[in-house]
């Protein structure tokens, strides 16, 4: 049964990848035929002021040199903040400002089927003056609901980072290798430390059931759906996210919160 399930997963993922790739290729071909040739011109955007005056550092790992930003007292408890794609350390700017006086803060710089294709996602993201990024963060369907939290300068910051040579390929390679990860036992899949999941209830990229399903992989987990927040929840509702983070770090037992939902693991 395990072999059959793994085989089905590989076949299904491959089929979905081909479908999404074919659709993207047809769309790009149509754009090339009907739009001005400048549509595919790649631009390198300047660094905006909002990315400066932070404590930028680097660490050399085995095969990569990783960038991170460090703020807060050296003897403070460490908050290691990671992110998905297409985000980068600046996605945590509201949390950086909020916790920098009490915690040592380390945000590091580092959907699925379409991103697994070769070259096409890079072309799509960097064409048309990177309008795909604008749609993701400022579009009516998927964008940040509290538009004042994502300014023109913030948009320029995203374009600056992802217009650098190779800036999109590295993160995309994670998705390309997603279904090649080795299988691990159910026991080893269980997250042992206490977990808090904050999920925007207007997330257009991921279904709410994903949050509920994640509970089954945690020994002690709580899910909070943030009303009116998009996929970019820590940027959309930073004050509420910061409050939940503070509560989570200070308390061992949590009561339910009005208009929120708590899920208990069966483990």
- Residue-level pLDDT at 194: 92
- Residue-level pLDDT at 187: 67
The ranges assigned to domains in the chain are 1-180, 182-267
Same fold, 1-180 and 182-267: yes
The string of pLDDT tens digits covering residues 39-97 is 888 899 999 999 999 999 998 888 888 889 999 998 888 999 999 889 999 999 999 99
Fold of 1-180: Rossmann fold (3.40.50)
- pLDDT of 264 > 50? The answer is no
Using alpha carbons, select from 138, 166, 162, 164 the residue that is nearest to residue 151.
138
> What mean pLDDT do residues 202-223 have?
90
High-pLDDT (> 70) share of the chain, %: 81
Question: Which of residues 220 and 116 earns the better pLDDT score?
Answer: 220
Architecture of domain 182-267 in this structure: 3-Layer(aba) Sandwich (3.40)
């Amino acid at each position: 049964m395990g072999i059959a399930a793994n085989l089905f997963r590989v076949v299904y993922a491959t089929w979905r990848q081909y479908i999404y790739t074919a659709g993207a290729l047809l769309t790009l071909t149509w754009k090339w035929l009907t739009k001005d040739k400048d549509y595919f011109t790649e631009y390198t955007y300047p660094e905006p002021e909002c990315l400066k005056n932070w404590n930028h550092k680097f660490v050399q790992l085995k095969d990569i040199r990783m960038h991170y930003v460090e703020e807060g007292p050296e003897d403070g408890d460490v908050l290691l903040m990671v992110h998905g794609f297409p985000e980068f350390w600046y996605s945590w700017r509201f949390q950086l400002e909020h916790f920098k006086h009490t915690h040592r803060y380390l945000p590091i710089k580092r959907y699925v089927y379409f991103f697994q294709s070769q070259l096409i996602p890079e072309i799509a993201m960097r064409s048309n003056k990177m309008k795909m990024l604008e749609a993701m963060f400022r579009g009516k369907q998927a964008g940040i609901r509290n538009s004042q939290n994502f300014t023109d300068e913030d948009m320029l910051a995203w374009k600056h980072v992802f217009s650098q040579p190779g800036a999109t390929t590295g993160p995309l390679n994670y998705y390309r290798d997603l279904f090649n990860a080795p299988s691990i036992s159910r026991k080893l899949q269980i997250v042992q430390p206490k977990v808090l999941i904050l999920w925007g209830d207007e997330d257009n990229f991921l279904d709410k059931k994903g949050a509920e399903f994640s509970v089954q992989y945690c020994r002690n987990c709580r899910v909070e759906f943030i009303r009116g927040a998009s996929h970019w929840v820590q940027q959309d509702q930073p004050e509420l996210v910061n409050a939940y983070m503070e509560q989570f770090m200070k308390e061992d037992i949590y009561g339910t919160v009005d208009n929120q939902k708590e899920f208990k693991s069966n483990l």
